[in-house]
Structures are given as C-alpha cells and as structure tokens.
Amino acid sequence: MKQLKTFLLENNQGMSVEIMNYGARITSILFPVNGKSTEMTVGYASSEDYLTDDFYFGVTCGRVCNRIEQGKFELNGVYYQITQNDGEQSLHGGLDNFSTRFWQVNSSTKSSVTLSIESLDGDQGFPGKLNLQVTYQLTDNNQIEIDYFATTDAPTPINITNHAYFNLGEGNGQLLDVKIAASSMLERKDNGVPSGKLLPVENTDFDFRQLTNIGERQENTTDINIQEMACFDHCFVLDNTDITKPKAELVSKNNKVKMTVLTNQPAVQFYTGVALSGEFSAYQGVCLESQDYSNAVNIDHFPNTILTPDAEYNRKIIYQFDSL
C-alpha cells in the first residue's frame, strides 16, 4: 500500500512550505506575522484527511484543470469522452484525476521537491501517454516557485494548475483584498463553462485591476450572475504573460501580508470558495488558479492547449510573500 509522505521546505527567512505526495499538493504555507509563524492556506489538521478531500486543497490539477464541457472533445477527427464529475462536465481531469493519486518522489532537498506521475493512454478517456513532473522550490526571497514539465507520445490536451486556498492567516477570505491584472474575462455559462466570448471587465463588478475588498464586492454586487452563484468562480484573461509582471495580488490588511502571483500562464481562475463545508466554512479561502483558458479544447479561437510528441509543456507559477 502506498504511503503518505510530506516534505518540509524551509528558508532562512522563517518561512516554510509542506508538500504531500498524494495529489502533489501544498498542505501548508507558514509565514511570519508579527514574529509568529502563521498559516497562509486552508487545509486539514491530519494528513490522512487529505485521502478523502473533496475540495482540491493545494493539489496539482490535471490532465486538464477547470472544466471540459460534457467531458467531450474532438482531436484530429477522433471524438473522446472523458469521465464526468461535475454534473455533465469533466472537472480538473475527471473522476480519478491527478489530485487523487500518489505521485512518485524524484528528489528532495531542504528547499525543493520534485514529483512525477505517468498517465497512460486512455486514462480517464484522454489520448496518449503523458509524463508530468512538478517541482516546488522555496527561495530565500519568500517565493514558492512551481514548475510544470510534461511530454506525451500522442497529441493530448493539457492544462495544469495549483489549487491552493489562501486566507493569509485570516479566518475568512472575504476579509482579503484582491487585484487581478486582467482587462477581460471569459463569459461563463450556467454550467460553469466558457461560452467562447471574451468580455471587458471595465465598469463591471469583475474589474479587479485596482486592489478591491473581496467581501464588499461580493456582498454589494449588482451582477445577477454573481448573486445567483453567491461567489466568484470565473476565468480572467491576463493582460500579459511576462513572468516578471505581477498577475494577481492578495492582501491581508490585518496581518500586513501580501501574496503576489506571477506566472507565464495566460489566465487565472478566481474562486472565492462558496462550496467549502463540513469542518470548513464557505469563503474560508480564496483560489487564484493560474492556467490556460478553460475548455479551450472545444473552442477553436482560444489559445491551443494540445501537447504534441515533438513539443514540451513548460509552465510556471510563483507565489511571492511579503510583509507590509
């Protein structure tokens, strides 16, 4: 039987990150607040509880994160059906996705760990054998660098993200301020899948180009879509993919902590955690999931997400923590 393993990454600034081999996930980020090591994410107290996790806490999502409409797509004249686990949609890779598996540990040091997984041809209905590797590294600049690398032996869709829920030491993610460098977003249908239209955020409640309090925006919205959903769960198109440019920020004014997201991915899914329940509460954490456009495999004019045998998949996400 495979065993849960955790790896503690530490730097010389008093910050630490815990990585688990089940789901290749982040289970803890501790950052100093007023000299006290403080948890920045939402998660379970017991490692074993992650084996029955329904919320994707900190996981590596794949083969395709977010949603594939009706779990169907056509590739090179062949139609594929992926397992459906979100109504009629396929969410984060289907029923037995990468978050529900033990990953192989390739290497680990005091500051980094590399994990990998092999996904065989036909896995959840996807074509081709995919080899995916993720490296987490904690730097002395208080950056968590996440590097994804993948190859395939046949054309296949791929879209990998991290699904950590952040609260920056607050009891409720609604207390945080957010900023997203996005002038447009993907129009969202009732089933959670993009329609294919890009909508400008200007003069709407989806405009987060300036630092905005999440709770106030959500509670005072006049947008019918947000009111009906009682949350944000939308894909924002980033204004640029320069890895050195901040793509999003989360700020806790109470704890005087800022988290900056940097990525070379073209979009970010902003989710305010309405579905958290049980020992957790709705809105306890906020997700900023850097990724390619959702459902791109079914929308021709979206950027291509098909990996071919003659190419390599390389994506990077950085979570930068700073005291204010």
CA gap 227, 180 in Å, rounded: 20
CA gap 227, 225 in Å, rounded: 5
The tens digit of pLDDT for each residue in 29-56 reads 999 999 999 999 999 999 999 999 999 9
The closest of 4, 14, 125 to 72, measured between CA atoms, is 125
The closest of 317, 258, 313, 314 to 289, measured between CA atoms, is 317
- Give the burial string for 153-184 (b: 16+ CB within 10 Å, else e): eebbbbbbbbbbbbbbbbebbbbbbbbbbbeb
The tens digit of pLDDT for each residue in 103-159 reads 999 999 999 999 999 999 999 999 999 999 999 999 999 999 999 999 999 999 999
Matching residue, tokens 């982040």: 26
Per the CB < 8 A criterion, the answer to whether 307 and 313 are in contact is yes
Per the CB < 8 A criterion, the answer to whether 125 and 82 are in contact is yes
Tokens in use for 307? 């990996």
Catalytic residues: 163, 289
The tens digit of pLDDT for each residue in 264-276 reads 999 999 999 999 9
Claim: this prediction has a pTM higher than 0.95 = yes
